[in-house]
Amino acid sequence: MRNKLLFGRSIDTGSWVHGVDPRAKLTGMVLYLVAIVIVGSWPALGIAAAFSLAYMTATRIPLKYFAKAAKPLWVLMVFIFAVQCITVKQGEELWRLGSWALYTGGLSSGLIAASRMALLVSFTAILTFTTTPGLLNQGLAGVLAPLRRIGISAQRLTLMMSIALRFIPTILDETHKILKAQAARGADLKEMPWKEKGKMLVSLLVPVTVSAFRRAEELVLSMESRGYVIGAPRSEYHLLSWRLRDTCFVLSYVVLVAVVLSFRWI
Amino acid sequence: MTETGLAFELQQVSFAYGPEQPVLSDVTLRIPHGSWMSLVGPNGCGKSTLAKLLGGLLAVNGGAIIVEGTPLLKETVQQIRPRIGMVFQNPDNQFIGATVEEDIAFGLEGRCLPREEMAERVKRYAEKLEISHLLSKHPAELSGGQKQRVAVAAILAMEPGIVIFDESSSMLDEKARGELLNILRDMKQSGHYTMISITHDAEEIMASDRAVVLRDGGIAADLKPSDLFGDAELLDSCRLIAPYGIRLARELEKQGVHLPAECGGEEVADALWQLYSRK
pLDDT tens for B12-66 read 999 999 888 889 999 999 999 999 999 999 888 999 999 999 999 999 999 999 9
CB contact under 8 A, B110 and A234: yes
Residue A8: strand, helix, or coil: coil
The domain that holds B14 is classified in CATH as 3.40.50.300
Based on the domain organization, do B207 and B264 belong to the same domain? Answer: no
Q: Is residue B125 part of a domain?
A: yes
Residues in chain B: 279
Based on the domain organization, do B208 and B218 belong to the same domain? Answer: yes
Based on the domain organization, do B278 and B172 belong to the same domain? Answer: no
Chain B residue whose CA is closest to A214: B93
Q: Is the dihedral of CA A40, A41, A44, A50 positive or negative?
A: positive
What is the tens place of the pLDDT at every residue in B150-166?
999 999 999 999 999 99
What is the tens place of the pLDDT at every residue in B88-147?
988 888 888 888 999 999 999 999 999 999 999 999 999 999 999 999 888 878 998 899
Nearest of B223, B234, B254, B184 to residue B36 by alpha carbon: B184
Q: Is residue B57 part of a domain?
A: yes
Q: Tell whether the model's pLDDT for residue A153 goes beyond 90.
A: no
Based on the domain organization, do B44 and B70 belong to the same domain? Answer: yes
For residue B25, which amino acid is it? S
Residues A185, B7: Cα–Cα separation, whole Å:
50
Based on the domain organization, do B159 and B70 belong to the same domain? Answer: yes
With beta carbons less than 8 A apart as the criterion, state whether B33 and B221 touch.
no
> What total of structural domains would you count in chain B?
2
Cα separation of the two ends of chain A:
48
Residues B260, B251: Cα–Cα separation, whole Å:
13
The overall average pLDDT reported for chain A is 87
Q: Which residues of B touch A227 (CB under 8 A)?
A: 81-82, 107, 110-111, 158
Residues A65, A73: Cα–Cα separation, whole Å:
14
The overall average pLDDT reported for chain B is 89
Based on the domain organization, do B252 and B236 belong to the same domain? Answer: no
Residues B204, A105: Cα–Cα separation, whole Å:
74
Residue from the list B92, B93, B98 with its beta carbon closest to the beta carbon of A8: B98
> What are the boundaries of each domain within chain A?
11-146+241-265, 154-225
Based on the domain organization, do B131 and B203 belong to the same domain? Answer: yes
Residues A45, A35: Cα–Cα separation, whole Å:
10
Residues B68, B54: Cα–Cα separation, whole Å:
12
Phi, psi for B211 (deg, rounded to 5): -120, 125
Residues B79, A78: Cα–Cα separation, whole Å:
59
CA distances from B124 to A33, A143, B127 (A): 42, 32, 5
Q: How close is the nearest chain B Cα to the Cα of A174, in Å? A: 11
Chain A residue whose CA is closest to B89: A218
> What residues of B are labeled active site?
167
Confidence of residue B262 (pLDDT cuts 50, 70, 90): low
CB contact under 8 A, A234 and B109: yes
* Domain limits for position B269: 243-279
What is the tens place of the pLDDT at every residue in A212-248?
899 889 999 999 989 888 888 888 888 888 999 999 9
With a pLDDT cut of 90, the percent of chain B lying above it is 57
Q: Is residue B70 part of a domain?
A: yes
Q: Which residues of A touch B110 (CB under 8 A)?
A: 226-229, 232, 234
Its pTM surpasses 0.80 = no
Based on the domain organization, do B234 and B247 belong to the same domain? Answer: no
pLDDT given at position B3: 53
Residues A10, B150: Cα–Cα separation, whole Å:
20
Based on the domain organization, do B170 and B274 belong to the same domain? Answer: no
